[in-house]
Structure 1
Amino acid sequence: MTESIDVQVCYALPDRQELVSLSLPQDCTVQQAIDASGLLQKYPGIDLDGANKVGVFGKLVSPGSALRAGDRVEIYRPLVADPKEVRRRRAAEGKALKKGAPDLPRAEQE
């Protein structure tokens, strides 16, 4: 008889999170856990070969990585914006405001 382990597979959407608890064979992989979770059928937009990455407890792993008891497999959505580019743009806007920002009129006091 094969030993089993308990794992979770989660996929976060902008408005909710799907969390599936599973009991799988001890030698299962990340890909096998995702397949068993049913999330690929429920959300056909998940593309593990392209846009979506996977991880275990916040650390990126490959779909062929082995799982241990208690692991939480996470399916990540693609980024909408590159965080580094957003910071650069904000910094550039801040510099522009400091250099040439016109004086704003004060509200008249009553």
Structure 2
Amino acid sequence: MAETIGVEVVYALKDRQEIASVNLPKGATIKDAVEASGLMEKYPEISLEKTGNKVGIYAKLAPLTTEVRDRDRIEIYRPLIADPKEVRRKRAKEGKVMKKGGGEADTDEGAASE
């Protein structure tokens, strides 16, 4: 009897995520998992073509030919709406200041006394 593994295939939508649990034979690939999940039929915008959706395992990009392991979480990524580099360029051109972190960087608290 062939050994099987269980994986989750996840597709994040704007307001929720779809999760499909599938059992596959050992040695299956990411492509096999996505096809077995049924998510491509439910969401026709998903494409595994070269210019289609990127995929990964636990937030790390991976090719479709990557062999999956038991309990892997295969993620199907949606395309970016805006290029982050282009957004930064536009803000800089408009003279808007971008802040790093969540608070003020120029505080006297914790500064060494003279």
TM-score strictly above 0.5 = yes
Q: How does 1:48-87 map to 2 (within 5 A)?
A: 48-49=48-49, 50-87=51-88
Q: Structure 1, residues 59-96: CA drift from partner, whole Å, max 9, x if none?
A: 11111110011111101111111011111212222359
Which consecutive unaligned segments of at least 5 residues does structure 1 have? 97-110
Q: 1:32 to 1:95 in 2, by over 3 A?
A: closer
Residue type matched to 2:56 in 1?
G
Which consecutive unaligned segments of at least 5 residues does structure 2 have? 98-114
Q: How does 1:31-50 map to 2 (within 5 A)?
A: 31-49=31-49, 50=51
Distance 1:95 1:54 in 2: 34
Percent of aligned positions that are identical:
56
Q: RMSD of the alignment, in Å?
A: 1.5
1:19 equivalent in structure 2: 19
Q: Structure 1, residues 6-52: CA drift from partner, whole Å, max 9, x if none?
A: 11000011111101111211111000000100001001111111231
TM-score by length of 2: 0.78
Distance 1:95 1:43 in 2: 38
2:104 equivalent in structure 1: none
TM-score by length of 1: 0.81
Number of residue pairs matched by the alignment: 96
Larger Rg: 1
- 1:51·1:77 contact (CA, 8 Å) conserved in 2? no
Give 3-state SS (helix, strand or coil) of 1:47's partner.
coil
